[in-house]
Structure formats: C-alpha cells, structure tokens
Amino acid sequence: MDSKFILIVFNLITFVCFGQSSFNYGSSSSELFEVTKKINSVKSNENNLSDIIGSAYMNDEFQSGVIFKNSKSDGSWFIRYNAYNDEMEISKDINSTSSVEALLKTSEIYCVIGDDKYFFKKYIDESKSNKEGYLREVFNGEKYEIYVRDIKKFKEGTKAKTSLESDIPAKFNYKYKILIAKKNNPPQTIKLKSKKIINSLFKEDRKLFLEKNPSPRKINDLSKLIASIKGIDKKNN
C-alpha cells in the first residue's frame, strides 16, 4: 500500500481534533484538552502501520507524568510525546490506545514525563523566523536555559522497480535541534559552532566563556554545551 496513504491514515486515526471535551480523569480541568479522534476508530488500516520502520513517538508507551497549569500541578496523567505531530497525547490508562486526547498548546501548560520536562514555547528557528512548539528543557540556570526540540520526520518508502531490487519501507527518522535562551528571552536555535555559541551569550559573559573554554570548537555535543554554559551561569560573574 502507498506509504503516503498510510501516513494520512495514521494522522487521521490519531490526531484529528473535533472540539472541546468534558471528560476528566486526573482532575476537574477538562478545559486543558482538545479532543482527538480515537485510535481504534479506523480498524481496517491499522495493521498497515506496522509496515513503517520507527515511530512517531519519543516513547511508544504511555508514561506516568504530571501536568502543570500556571505552575500549579493538575495531577498525574498518562502521557506520551508525538514528535511527528508535535502533540502531547493523554490516555485514560497506561495500556490504552483506544481513547486519546491532546494537551492544549499554550505556554500556560507544561508537563513532566519521567525525567523530561516539556514546555510549549515561542522560539526562533535557524532562519530567524518565530515559531512555536514543544521544547524539552535540559538545563535551567540563573542566566541561561538550554532546550532540545525533538523531531520525527517521515520518509516515504519506495517500491522495487525490478525483481532484482527490494522494496524500501517507509520510516520515521529522528533528529533534534538545540536552543539556548537568555533569561526572559525566547530560545534561539543554534548549531554547535563556536561563533554561534558565543553570539548566543550575553556580551558580558563572552570573555569568561572563552577563558573557561579556550578551544570552543571542541564543544561538539549537547553534554559539552551544557557543561560550558554551567561554567558561566552566574548572575554576578
């Protein structure tokens, strides 16, 4: 079956919104949610999804998490992040795929899933355009914050053209973007290049950053970036 059709079906059966819901199973805050179509509502094409390699989710299984609204806990829920559609999906129970809703996309609401904290934020992408989406917080200091934007991209499969070739299945590929935010400023997407990192800092911190990191080109992964920012993250250096 055509992989594009499979993807369309996948979107329809998991993410189509109908309006507001009145049910609640974690608190009385039913206004937190948008209704999404039930996953099992289109059964005839469900098995075709198994032909796709990978997953749209960061974790296929629902995990226990906590939702916060205006920094106040709204209770524990079962949550998973759909990185393809940029949706936080909520289930009634940890084993259920038959009744799923999506968390409203607003900066007033964030959620914690295991060790990960996700915020819906405005941010600046590589082209300097203003965007909105879920960002995973990996560092929160006195002056700086670092986020990761988890992304799942869908790549269509191709059919074999001859009997000597094999079909190439459709698949989801994972990648991520790194963002740095000065306190009270929107996160900005950066590449791990010394000039880009330095330009993302407050001017008064750039000299200290270079003193502590004399070879900034060696900051070539997320853990090294976090360590280098921790070294200058004080209000009064």
Least reliable range by pLDDT among 6-15, 37-46, 66-75, 143-152: 37-46
Asked whether residue 199 is assigned to any structural domain, the reply reads no
173-211 pLDDT, tens digit per residue, is 999 999 999 998 999 999 999 999 999 999 999 999 999
Q: What is the pLDDT of residue 185?
A: 94
Under DSSP, the state recorded for 196 is H
Burial 120-131 (b: 16+ CB within 10 A, else e): bbebbeeeeeee
Least reliable range by pLDDT among 18-22, 82-86, 113-117: 18-22
Apex 120 CA angle, 141 and 62, nearest 5: 100
Domain count, the chain: 1
Q: What is the pLDDT of residue 198?
A: 93
Asked whether residue 235 is assigned to any structural domain, the reply reads no
Mean pLDDT in residue range 125-149: 97
Asked whether residue 53 is assigned to any structural domain, the reply reads yes
Asked whether residue 197 is assigned to any structural domain, the reply reads no
What's the chain's average pLDDT? 80
3-class DSSP state for residue 197? helix
Structural domain for 32, as ranges: 3-190
Gap between the Cα atoms of 94 and 79, Å rounded: 8
**What is the helix, strand, coil percentage profile of the chain, to 5?**
25, 40, 40
User: With 90 as the cut, is the pLDDT of residue 225 above it?
Assistant: yes
Q: What is the pLDDT of residue 25?
A: 42
Asked whether residue 232 is assigned to any structural domain, the reply reads no
Asked whether residue 213 is assigned to any structural domain, the reply reads no
Asked whether residue 92 is assigned to any structural domain, the reply reads yes
Asked whether residue 196 is assigned to any structural domain, the reply reads no
Q: What is the pLDDT of residue 97?
A: 57
3-class DSSP state for residue 38? coil
154-175 pLDDT, tens digit per residue, is 888 888 788 887 888 888 999 9
Gap between the Cα atoms of 6 and 13, Å rounded: 11
